[in-house]
Amino acid sequence: MRLRLGMIGGGQGTFIGAVHRIAARIDWEYELVCGAFSSDAKSSQASGLLLGLPANRVYNSYTELIEQEKQLPEHERVQVISIVTPNHLHFAPAKMALENGFHVILDKPMTFSLAEAKVLDRVVRTTGKLFCLTHTYTDYPMIKEARQLINAGKLGTIRKVYVDYPQGWLSTFLEGDGNKQASWRTDPGKSGIAGAMGDIGTHAFNLAEYVTGLEVTQICADINIVVQDRKLDDDGAALLKFNNGASGVLTASQIAAGEENNLKIRVYGETGGLEWQQNDANSLRIMYIDKPVEVWRAGAGYTSLFALQNTRTPPGHPEGYLEAFANLYRNFALTIKAGLEGKAALPEALDYPGIKEGVRGMAFIENVIASGKSDKKWTEFSI
């Protein structure tokens, strides 16, 4: 049985729309049944046609989609709605979808503001519908392994966390050349109060909290607009304090000229450390004080169920970004299906980012930007 999936946004020519669809197809837990792919009706229809949808399931707006689908018989009606619009168009469709009985998959950062995030949090709790936020990077198998190892005490109490997210693609004033990706990401009206911090800083923040199982309690940030005339931050760094007393450093830059997308994390505890980077995503380095470094590999028999269930191939057959995205889609599907069957979902399936991560991510944005403007060293992480 495949879940019936609908999309809001993500029409022709959008990068992330195609990624969502591939992710949904890889494990074939979903069937795309409807969509409102663009706020432009013609464009939405054209996208739907290309995707092979019947015309009557391609809608001109998200409101139309939700209202019409709700009228359909239960066995035809869409079950999960994936929302892949720019940040300012996250909240309203997500809220409406949840309130009308649909499960929701939403792109990060979760909303335009923390205030919206808190409302959505309540909506999720009230409606009881399931909610998944696409913090893709935490769905790499070796990231899941890292979390399991730390949780099991492999490194002792965590003392230090470094997370770095360098990109270089905004090194020039790309938004001046009409680049679509750059334009909305640097537009306060569409992105919110943060640029790089919202786009990639939230990923780094989420990765740090996910892997360590800790929560950030204080932030001291240096937030920069490096490229002239840009309206939102394109670079930043933050000193962090965690709830167990550990400290950390988070960096996120989109003006690290020549860098692609090599998100990295290093965590150190009393007895050892670990290191992961997306460029070598299938490896996890474990360091010890007095033993050789170990390189743990995705798909290997010695890894945990959390890693193995998120790998499709034996060691040495590299899986990458699209498979990480697919893991997220699959785990969400398995959780939904367990619910439909009245069963408890497996811990491995439940291990996908959700509303809590979304609220914390929005709080990160507000706190990190506030800290960037503050003369005080430490800003309490408040929600």
Q: Is 21 one of the binding residues for a copy of itself (CB under 8 A)?
A: yes
* Burial class (CB within 10 angstroms; exposed 0-12, middle 13-18, buried 19+) of 382: exposed
x-or-dash pattern for a copy of itself, window 82-121, by CB under 8 A? ----------------------------------------
Q: Which is nearer to a copy of itself, 128 or 292 (CB)?
A: 292
Q: Which is nearer to a copy of itself, 60 or 243 (CB)?
A: 243
**Looking only at residues 22 through 51 of this chain, which bind a copy of itself when binding is defined by CB under 8 A?**
22, 25-28
Q: How many CB atoms lie within 10 A of CB 180?
A: 12
Q: How far is 4 from 2, CA to CA, in rounded Å?
A: 6
Q: Which of 59, 296, 306, 352 binds a copy of itself (CB under 8 A)?
A: 296
Q: Which is nearer to a copy of itself, 123 or 284 (CB)?
A: 284
Total residues found in the chain within this entry: 383
Question: ∠ CA 88-94-97 to the nearest 5 degrees?
Answer: 145
Q: Is 172 one of the binding residues for a copy of itself (CB under 8 A)?
A: yes
Residue type, 96: M
Choose the stretch contacting a copy of itself; rule: CB under 8 A; options: 58-66, 117-125, 156-164, 191-199. 156-164
In eight-state DSSP terms, residue 40 is S
CB of 251 to a copy of itself, least distance (A): 6
Q: How far is 77 from 67, CA to CA, in rounded Å?
A: 11
Q: Is 288 one of the binding residues for a copy of itself (CB under 8 A)?
A: yes
Q: Is 323 one of the binding residues for a copy of itself (CB under 8 A)?
A: yes
Q: Which of 39, 43, 60, 171 binds a copy of itself (CB under 8 A)?
A: 171
φ, ψ for residue 132, nearest 5 deg? -130, 130
CB of 162 to a copy of itself, least distance (A): 7
Q: Which is nearer to a copy of itself, 315 or 347 (CB)?
A: 315
Q: Which is nearer to a copy of itself, 71 or 373 (CB)?
A: 373
Q: Which of 173, 217, 243, 280 binds a copy of itself (CB under 8 A)?
A: 280
Question: Any bridge partners for residue 219, and if so which?
Answer: 240, 379
CB of 83 to a copy of itself, least distance (A): 20
Q: SS3 for 43?
A: helix
Q: How many CB atoms lie within 10 A of CB 213?
A: 14
φ, ψ for residue 361, nearest 5 deg? -65, -40
Contacts of 289 (CB under 8 A, 6+ apart): 271, 272
Q: Which is nearer to a copy of itself, 189 or 320 (CB)?
A: 320
**Looking only at residues 340 through 379 of this chain, which bind a copy of itself when binding is defined by CB under 8 A?**
374-378
CB of 55 to a copy of itself, least distance (A): 16
Q: How far is 136 from 147, CA to CA, in rounded Å?
A: 15
Q: How far is 288 from 304, CA to CA, in rounded Å?
A: 20
Q: How far is 288 from 75, CA to CA, in rounded Å?
A: 54
How many residues bind to a copy of itself according to rule CB under 8 A?
88
Choose the stretch contacting a copy of itself; rule: CB under 8 A; options: 35-43, 63-71, 160-168, 355-363. 160-168
CB of 350 to a copy of itself, least distance (A): 23
Q: How far is 370 from 360, CA to CA, in rounded Å?
A: 15
**Looking only at residues 302 through 321 of this chain, which bind a copy of itself when binding is defined by CB under 8 A?**
302, 312-321
Q: Is 138 one of the binding residues for a copy of itself (CB under 8 A)?
A: no
Q: How far is 79 from 56, CA to CA, in rounded Å?
A: 17
Distances from the Cα of 108 to the Cαs of 55, 73, 91, in angstroms? 29, 31, 11
Choose the stretch contacting a copy of itself; rule: CB under 8 A; options: 17-25, 114-122, 126-134, 331-339. 17-25
**Looking only at residues 208 through 267 of this chain, which bind a copy of itself when binding is defined by CB under 8 A?**
220, 222, 224, 226, 235, 237, 239, 241, 247, 249, 251, 253, 255-262, 266
* Phi-psi map region of 199: left, alpha, beta (phi>0 left; psi -120 to 50 alpha): alpha
